[in-house]
Amino acid sequence: MATELERIIKLTRGVPPDEALPCELVGECCAQALADHGEVLLQYNPATGFAPLRELLAEQAGAPSDALLLGNGSIQLLFFLARVALSEGETVVTERPTYDRALTAFRTLRLNVVGVPMEDDGLNVDALEEAINRHRPRLLYTVPDFQNPTGITASTAKREAVVELAQRHDVLIVEDIPYRLLRYKGTDVPSYRELTPRHTMQLSSFSKLLAPGLRVGWALGDPALVARMAKVAEDAYITPGLLGQGVVYEFLRRGHLEPNLRTLKALYTPRLEALLRGLERELPEGTWAHPQGGFFVGLSLPPGADVRDVARVARESYGLVVSDSGGFFPDGDPSRFVRLPFCALDENEIGQAVARLAWAVDDSRKGGR
Amino acid sequence: MATELERIIKLTRGVPPDEALPCELVGECCAQALADHGEVLLQYNPATGFAPLRELLAEQAGAPSDALLLGNGSIQLLFFLARVALSEGETVVTERPTYDRALTAFRTLRLNVVGVPMEDDGLNVDALEEAINRHRPRLLYTVPDFQNPTGITASTAKREAVVELAQRHDVLIVEDIPYRLLRYKGTDVPSYRELTPRHTMQLSSFSKLLAPGLRVGWALGDPALVARMAKVAEDAYITPGLLGQGVVYEFLRRGHLEPNLRTLKALYTPRLEALLRGLERELPEGTWAHPQGGFFVGLSLPPGADVRDVARVARESYGLVVSDSGGFFPDGDPSRFVRLPFCALDENEIGQAVARLAWAVDDSRKGGR
């Protein structure tokens, strides 16, 4: 046991495991992209990015290419969007809990962030309506598919209710969908863009579908808004990183994405199952989401456990590092919430991690140590 | 003549010509970097960038690696620096004229920008001292080698005087040196970092030395300040674009930079000479810098010419597009200033461009058309 515990397990960031990175294919695609488009990829380009990729992604989405902006990952595009769409002090509504880096972006812009509680099937719609009436937000930020950090997917009924509110109160829905294509079972729910394209800006990236280091994200929405975001992007970095965009273009053009998604699903599905089994076994008094895809399971610790104390005991006594849950909460207390990312650990490590977490919960409920 | 004029000549942006981009070598370096470091380059990394490149550049500069921050081009690093080092309303001193995108970065942060006039050998030191006494700036932004937009290099005597003022008044000198290694004749002047490392943050990039599309820039200075910049960078984009950094690392490791610089100098030297000859021939009443390197010659039009009128006539009557000179001026009027970038045009086009500019000047002085 002592020996096992000497190996620290990090249950923190939502990153793909190294073995999920298709290094060889990326090398081939990069060589091809440079051979075909070297003088474009190595030169300054418009801030909208590598035109062939922009056109391909827009076409796949059934949109004109000027509705799409490429950037260095989606979080910076969210920042650009919030910068052009809102002024200091205006209100953004987010899920509670939500993606911590989105909160950082909003806070950097000194926006007022109001959290609306998550339920098993998405946002609490009554609370959303109340928040809208009270704060008159301009923008709703949501991760509707396999949410970071809870793993929850919003139901169709919930989405329709949200759409109705957004249309009635003229709120822009920003749907961030980096995990949408990583569904391990079940069937897709309509995206906000499908339900209400005029009230939606869609964000995503290839960080979870191909490789984070490429830094390729995109935003898709109203061309006028996209043009304003592109101007801010140009002021920020002139041209986004182009080699990664060339790689993604060639990867898609060659049809590598679908097989890569199949490989990822085959790798991640047993990890999710191992985590859910571990929770059943080790923490039967807790409650948790049952995601059908993505990177995370959101856990609510058993009553009486304090998340900060559990995190401290887990780290100090059992070599298990979990995220600072407070980071995911726009307001209020993390209470008993813990985010469990499952993709970067193998089944054995996941079982170990849940066991350690359960020991820390036990210790904490007994009064800590 | 009409036929010749049908071809529009753009004398606007300081970009390398496509033929200066070493596509094949970049392809080889990228393949090697992915083969050697694929799992690192495709994964999330610290916001400080690809560690081997960080270490190599720091070592070349005789600095510890934590003094160096890699980023997606240098303009964004300037923005991060200004964001952590200054608060809204504080003052930055720049050269007048200066790099337009630097002004945009400072204005985005709502800083107070004060311009100090350029002379043939660098900043007017008396005006700088007056500006320091009056505005108590925290930061001086300077492009001391082959300045954008004038082409002027600050003399050693001027640099020493600036250093003395910076030390006395505790002003951080930000020296932006993207053109420093592109010297076509003469000998190097000591950098500000060499003269006063503790009061200097050095910025540069590989956009002019290798390829802009790679988006690899760096900042070198006080490790504590660099750490704060890296935190802001992480909030902005998590990880910078890594493929470009892998390419630059391999390009340097293989010793390609020196031969590439020789190739670039051989390409650009006759272009600079053609521009200076053209000015002698076509605009003898103007005055201009005589740069020994870089991308630009700053021209002061003959007395009586109005730069905005000349730009309009050049564009409308002669198919010559020049930059908006106003963009380079933090305050005051562009007066008769025109920036002439010479690297992206061949000698014949440069001769044509200067001739067209001279016609526009003639027309403008005769009262326009």
Question: Confidence class of residue A335 from pLDDT cuts 50, 70 and 90?
Answer: confident
From CA B130, how far away is CA B127, in angstroms rounded? 5
B27 and A35 within 8 Å at the Cβ level: the answer is yes
- pTM of this prediction? 0.96
In this structure, are A100 and A244 located in the same domain? Answer: yes
In this structure, are A151 and A287 located in the same domain? Answer: no
Question: Confidence class of residue A6 from pLDDT cuts 50, 70 and 90?
Answer: confident
B239 and A26 within 8 Å at the Cβ level: the answer is no
Tell whether the model's pLDDT for residue B239 goes beyond 90.
yes
Residues 6+ apart with CB under 8 A from B343: B14, B15, B16, B17, B20, B267, B268, B271, B295
Strand order in the sheet with A91-96: A68-71, A217-220, A200-205, A172-176, A139-142, A91-96, A112-119, A122-123
Which residue in the set A27, A79, A243 is minimally distant from B214, CB to CB? A243
Write the pLDDT tens digit of every residue in B249-297. Answer: 999 999 999 999 999 999 999 999 999 999 999 999 999 999 999 999 9
Contact between A60 and B75 (Cβ < 8 Å): no
User: pLDDT at position A53, please?
Assistant: 98
Query: Region B162-174: what's the mean pLDDT?
Result: 98
Q: How far apart are the first and last CA of chain B?
A: 19
Question: Which A residues, 261 through 320, put their C-beta within 8 Å of a C-beta on chain B?
Answer: none
Tell whether the model's pLDDT for residue B146 goes beyond 90.
yes
In this structure, are B7 and B29 located in the same domain? Answer: no
In 10 A of CB B366, how many CB atoms?
Answer: 9
User: pLDDT at position B324, please?
Assistant: 86
User: Residue A34's domain is classified under what CATH number?
Assistant: 3.40.640.10
In this structure, are B138 and B281 located in the same domain? Answer: no
* Whether A224 contacts chain B with CB within 8 A: no
Which residue in the set B44, B76, B214 is minimally distant from A15, CB to CB? B44
* Whether B215 contacts chain A with CB within 8 A: yes
From CA B336, how far away is CA B303, in angstroms rounded? 8
Q: Residue B40 belongs to what domain range?
A: 23-253
In this structure, are B235 and B303 located in the same domain? Answer: no
Tell whether the model's pLDDT for residue B246 goes beyond 50.
yes
ipTM score for this prediction:
0.95
* Smallest CA–CA distance from A100 into chain B, residue: B235
Q: Which of A253, A282, A303 is the last residue of a domain?
A: A253
Instruction: Return the SS3 of A73.
Output: coil
Q: Which phi and psi angles does A125 have, rounded to 5°?
A: -70, -35
* Whether B35 contacts chain A with CB within 8 A: yes
* Smallest CA–CA distance from B39 into chain A, residue: A18
Contact between B179 and B294 (Cβ < 8 Å): yes
Q: Provide the 8-state DSSP code for B252.
A: H
List beta partners, residue A341.
Answer: A296
Q: Which residues of B touch A34 (CB under 8 A)?
A: 23, 26-27, 30
Q: Which of B225, B253, B281 is the last residue of a domain?
A: B253
Write the pLDDT tens digit of every residue in B73-117. Answer: 999 999 999 999 999 999 999 999 999 999 999 999 999 999 999
Return the minimum-mean-pLDDT range out of A130-134, A236-240, A331-335, B228-232. A331-335
User: pLDDT at position B240, please?
Assistant: 98
Tell whether the model's pLDDT for residue B366 goes beyond 90.
no
Question: Confidence class of residue B369 from pLDDT cuts 50, 70 and 90?
Answer: very low
String of DSSP letters for B269-320: HHHHHHHHHHHHHH-TTSEE---SBSSEEEEEPPTT--HHHHHHHHHHHH-E
Tell whether the model's pLDDT for residue A309 goes beyond 50.
yes
Query: Region A281-310: what's the mean pLDDT?
Result: 95
Which residue in the set A30, A40, A211 is minimally distant from B30, CB to CB? A30
User: Residue B294's domain is classified under what CATH number?
Assistant: 3.90.1150.10
Q: Which of A206, A223, A253 is the last residue of a domain?
A: A253
Query: Region B128-139: what's the mean pLDDT?
Result: 98
In this structure, are B155 and B298 located in the same domain? Answer: no
From CA A69, how far away is CA A50, in angstroms rounded? 10
B21 and A15 within 8 Å at the Cβ level: the answer is no
Is pLDDT larger for residue B13 or for residue A233? A233
In this structure, are B8 and B72 located in the same domain? Answer: no
Q: Which phi and psi angles does A48 have, rounded to 5°?
A: -75, -15
Residues in chain A: 369
In this structure, are B117 and B176 located in the same domain? Answer: yes
List beta partners, residue A114.
Answer: A93
Q: Which residues of B touch A16 (CB under 8 A)?
A: 43
Write the pLDDT tens digit of every residue in B174-207. Answer: 999 999 999 999 999 999 999 999 999 999 999 9
* Whether B352 contacts chain A with CB within 8 A: no
Q: Say which residue the tokens 């098993």 belong to.
A: A120
Contact between B296 and B338 (Cβ < 8 Å): no
In this structure, are B307 and B189 located in the same domain? Answer: no
In this structure, are B116 and B184 located in the same domain? Answer: yes
Write the pLDDT tens digit of every residue in A266-283. Answer: 999 999 999 999 999 999
Average pLDDT over chain A, rounded to whole? 96
Question: Total structural domains in chain B?
Answer: 2
Asked if the peptide bond before residue A97 counts as cis, ω within 30 degrees of 0, the response is yes
Write the pLDDT tens digit of every residue in B307-354. Answer: 999 999 999 999 999 988 999 999 888 889 999 999 999 999 999 999
Which residue in the set A35, A76, A213 is minimally distant from B242, CB to CB? A213
B215 and A239 within 8 Å at the Cβ level: the answer is yes
In this structure, are A68 and A155 located in the same domain? Answer: yes
In this structure, are B111 and B168 located in the same domain? Answer: yes
* Whether A187 contacts chain B with CB within 8 A: no
Sign of CA dihedral B42, B43, B46, B52: negative
Question: Confidence class of residue A3 from pLDDT cuts 50, 70 and 90?
Answer: low
CA distances from B84 to A11, A100, B87, B139 (A): 31, 21, 8, 12
User: pLDDT at position A297, please?
Assistant: 98
Which residue in the set A43, A235, A237 is minimally distant from B108, CB to CB? A235
* Whether A35 contacts chain B with CB within 8 A: yes
